[in-house]
Amino acid sequence: MSDYYTENPESFRGHQLTFSHLSVLRNKRDILKDVSGAANPGEILAVMGPSGSGKTTLLSLLAGRLSPGRGEVTLNGRLLDKQLRRRISFVLQEDAYLCNLTCWDTLWYTALLRLPGSIPTHKKKEIVSDVVDMLDMRQCLNTKIGNEYIRGISGGEKRKLSIACELLTNPVLMLLDEPTSGLDSSAAHSFCSKIQKVAKSANKTVVMSIHQPSSQLFNMFDKLLLLCDGQVAYYGEAKKCAQHFAALGLPCPTNYNIADHILDQVKSSEDVKRKILRHAANQLKAEITEAGELKNGTADLTEDEGDGYQKLIATPQEESKKATCSRTSVPSESSWSVLNETTPKKLTRSNRVRVYVKEQLAKLEDVKTGLVDQVRTCGADMLPEVEGQICKHTNEFKEKWPTSFAAQHSVLFRRCLKQTWPRVLSKWNVLQMIIIGIFAGILWFQTKAVESEIGNRKGLIFFCIICTSFCCLLDSTISVFSDRAVLNKERVSGYYRLSAYYIAKNVSGIVSGVLD
């Protein structure tokens, strides 16, 4: 794997996604109601539910593309802002592409548009190559994407391409909306194992909505969020879900796919649904009460201690233990038990939390002092370099666009030409031009070079100009509709400025029109 995925420590450390009490109301109907949960780095959170249960709406909220009526979404404790939103990738159910480009062209132009201009070209090629290898896409690199008229890459390859385009930017969070729809169970399994590999090796947080996974696929998920009519029917470890439903008196029959079983239950009678939802709501309430008890214990902490506490209360919840503990310095289950054993029994729970927070803050202070000392021992010369690196990373993510206007225009111009080129050079277009040429030749054959023929000659020039302009205009008008989905997708993801696209499209249209 390229060091691009690991060299930025901030991104490799991973981002924990937390969403709490999300509610969306549309046309007086609760599309989502009080949905809470979390997803950890290196893990896959699967969102399941019957059709219309609110999976896509939830993913749109998590991507920051929709504002919730209530609730909040945070990444590593920070509310989603414009800067963070740009580091989230959202792969839609139906993705749009330029049909005449090959997979390699698509990836390469995406890399040129989305990777910061400061990365040299050879490094960008290396990154694209790595992503191709990660998703095992070598065999379709030179195949056109295609559309309903042009035979192109398969549905599964299209899904991989969508994910590859997003992986190029090294996102901190990947949201995939039904990435396996349209794939057979073995293709879906192989696809998800690749996603799992990427999540684990690059420490990405992955949330995917899925309809009806096979049992093999279901076992790959670390956590599961089951939705029923926009409400949480189950949230927790995927492998504990069978046990949970059995405890509710709804055991999964032997040799039956647990994913199918739980979907059947949330689609069954109103009584069963109510029972499942009530139980999930009670569970959530219990967790909130526990968190509330812990929070009360920090009322008299200082501001710094309070910050440490926020990290601490995130960890007792079962879901956040594993990943955060391995990557960051938040306590693990074992540290909780150590804490319980080593602190005097008379201390209340809130006081134990306080002692623990103080210890952790002291440790962090030690680490900070150690780092400063290390830099000092290596020589003061290193400081400007370190500072420069920090500023570079920070600025790269603060800048509004990853590349300059000129670079965007140049890439978009080449891409537009590549997209229109096959049409300009198509046999039908060449034949059309020959017929128009013959027609004009017959009409204006052997026009004499005398004053009385000036009108005729003007007519010929007018005909040629109108013919070229209309072909150009018609082509642009048609392509606006076909390219619109691509433009929308790329604009929402912040690929480029609209002005750069508009100018590139027009200039390439004129060039193709003249060559036509």
Ligand X SMILES: Nc1ncnc2c1ncn2[C@@H]1O[C@H](COP(=O)(O)OP(=O)(O)OP(=O)(O)O)[C@@H](O)[C@H]1O
Q: Which one-letter DSSP state was computed for residue 195? A: H
One-character DSSP codes across 466-513 = HHHHHHHHHHHHHHHHHHHHHHHHHHHTT-S-HHHHHHHHHHHHHHHH
C-beta closer to ligand X: residue 26 or 138? 26
**Closest approach of ligand X to the CB of residue 476, in Å:** 32
452 is a site residue for ligand X (CB under 6 A): no
232 is a site residue for ligand X (CB under 6 A): no
Token pair 């879900």 is found at: 241
Tokens of 438: 């013959």
How many chain residues bind ligand X (CB under 6 A)?
11
Rule CB under 6 A: choose which of 14, 37, 42, 49 binds ligand X. 49
231 is a site residue for ligand X (CB under 6 A): no
**Closest approach of ligand X to the CB of residue 191, in Å:** 18
213 is a site residue for ligand X (CB under 6 A): no
Rule CB under 6 A: choose which of 17, 22, 31, 357 binds ligand X. 31
477 is a site residue for ligand X (CB under 6 A): no
37 pairs with which residues across the strands? 19
C-beta closer to ligand X: residue 31 or 174? 31
52 is a site residue for ligand X (CB under 6 A): yes
Measure the CA–CA gap between 222 and 45, rounded to whole angstroms. 6
Name the H helices within 172-298: 185-201, 215-218, 241-247, 258-266, 270-296
C-beta closer to ligand X: residue 29 or 458? 29
C-beta closer to ligand X: residue 53 or 360? 53
**Closest approach of ligand X to the CB of residue 88, in Å:** 18
Rule CB under 6 A: choose which of 9, 51, 348, 450 binds ligand X. 51
67 is a site residue for ligand X (CB under 6 A): no
Tokens of 304: 């710094």
56 is a site residue for ligand X (CB under 6 A): yes
Tokens of 135: 């998703």
**Closest approach of ligand X to the CB of residue 157, in Å:** 22
Measure the CA–CA gap between 87 and 80, rounded to whole angstroms. 10
Measure the CA–CA gap between 319 and 54, rounded to whole angstroms. 22
**Closest approach of ligand X to the CB of residue 50, in Å:** 7
C-beta closer to ligand X: residue 31 or 107? 31
Q: Which stretch binds ligand X (CB under 6 A): 23-31, 76-84, 333-341, 410-418?
A: 23-31
125 is a site residue for ligand X (CB under 6 A): no
Rule CB under 6 A: choose which of 43, 44, 46, 55 binds ligand X. 55
Measure the CA–CA gap between 313 and 297, rounded to whole angstroms. 11
69 is a site residue for ligand X (CB under 6 A): no
C-beta closer to ligand X: residue 90 or 496? 90
54 is a site residue for ligand X (CB under 6 A): yes
Q: Degrees (nearest 5) of the Cα angle 185, 191, 195?
A: 135
**Closest approach of ligand X to the CB of residue 181, in Å:** 9
269 is a site residue for ligand X (CB under 6 A): no
Q: Which stretch binds ligand X (CB under 6 A): 47-55, 147-155, 199-207, 300-308?
A: 47-55
Name the H helices within 399-453: 405-424, 427-443
Q: Which has the closest alpha carbon to 416: 471, 355, 480?
A: 480
Across the beta sheet with 70-75, what order do the strands follow?
29-39, 17-26, 70-75, 78-79
Name the H helices within 91-236: 103-114, 121-134, 155-167, 185-201, 215-218
Half-sphere exposure at residue 234, Cβ-oriented, CA atoms within 13 angstroms? 28
Measure the CA–CA gap between 239 and 219, rounded to whole angstroms. 7
Q: Which residues bind ligand X (CB under 6 A)?
A: 26-27, 31, 49, 51-57
